[in-house]
Structure 1
Amino acid sequence: MRRTERVFVENLGIHGFHGLFSEEKTLGQKFYADIECLIARTEPPSDAMKDAVDYGKLCDLAHDISASGPFNLVETLAERIGHGVMENFPLVKSVRVRIRKPKAPIRHFLDNVGVEITLERDAPSPG
């Protein structure tokens, strides 16, 4: 039997001072993050939190990384969150991080702009 396990957070609101313009760095703005983790297990899951990826801790991690900025680019924010997930959650085989910026300072009507990255652990070398 094949099994896929995903742990995800959608539409996490994060206030940050990220962007290229001085107003963005001074006033800050809201960003939205989606984090999706694919889980690798050798055994069936237990019913204990120690054997799970805590989505509350995923939210805390994203918030803390955003607060460690400012970053010029949302790509940097996404990358740092992705690496933070991989470093702190050994069960995660891959992570997808999507950052949306609903109030981007561009002259077009839109809902969001943003970036999405995916990070995967390297497969173990044979032999």
Structure 2
Amino acid sequence: MTDRIFVSNLSLHGHHGVMDAEKSLGQKFMVDMECSVIRPGNAADRISDTVHYGELCDLAAEVSASSVFNLIETFADTVAQAILDRFALVQEVTVTVRKPSAPISHVVDHVGVSVTRGRNG
């Protein structure tokens, strides 16, 4: 059976971006993660038979804190790959990173990227 496990609007502070001020001051990023999970046919009512969404949040926070990314595309890709590496039940993952305070000269709610990665390419 395939389940969809997701996290919406995880708020993280990071130092990602190409501008010096973004790297030194940091800013808020909003992260969504959506995982397609193949649960065992004999899955029970146990956390070991699924993916813990709290651990997804922890992993995204670890990735954000462990590096400074110039591009949020690279940040999103790194989170997606980390999810596939850590959670064997996840077959495909989409990670969206939104930047509500992008240094651009237009009024927007946010800018962002979405990446989808899977076990088969």
TM-score (ref. length: structure 2): 0.96
Unmatched 5+ stretches in structure 1: none
Rounded Cα–Cα distance in structure 2 between residues aligned with 1:41 and 1:49: 11
Rounded Cα–Cα distance in structure 2 between residues aligned with 1:43 and 1:103: 44
Q: CA deviation at 1:42?
A: 4.2
Percent identity between the aligned chains? 48
Rounded Cα–Cα distance in structure 1 between residues aligned with 2:9 and 2:94: 13
**Deviation by residue 1:3-22 (Cα, 9 ceiling, x = unmatched):** 54111000000100000010
Partner of 1:79: 77
| Cα separation, partners in 2 of 1:52 and 1:41, compared to 1, 3 Å | closer
* 1:37 aligned partner, one-letter code: C
Rounded Cα–Cα distance in structure 1 between residues aligned with 2:5 and 2:97: 17
- Determine which structure has more spread, i.e. the larger CA radius of gyration: 1
Per mean C-alpha deviation after superposition, the further-off stretch among 38-47 and 89-98 is 38-47
> Is the Cα–Cα contact under 8 Å of residues 2 and 39 in structure 2 kept in the other structure?
no
Flag as ranges the 4+ runs of structure 1 deviating above 6 A. none
After superposition, residues 89-104 of structure 1 pair within 5 angstroms as 89-104=87-102
1:50 to 48, 53, 63: 48
Q: CA deviation at 1:89?
A: 0.3
Unmatched 5+ stretches in structure 2: none
Residue aligned with 1:5, SS: strand
Rounded Cα–Cα distance in structure 1 between residues aligned with 2:52 and 2:76: 19
TM-score (ref. length: structure 1): 0.91
**Deviation by residue 1:27-59 (Cα, 9 ceiling, x = unmatched):** 000000000000113414311111110000000
1:110 to 108, 111, 114: 108
Rounded Cα–Cα distance in structure 1 between residues aligned with 2:116 and 2:39: 19
* 1:12 aligned partner, one-letter code: L
Aligned residues: 121
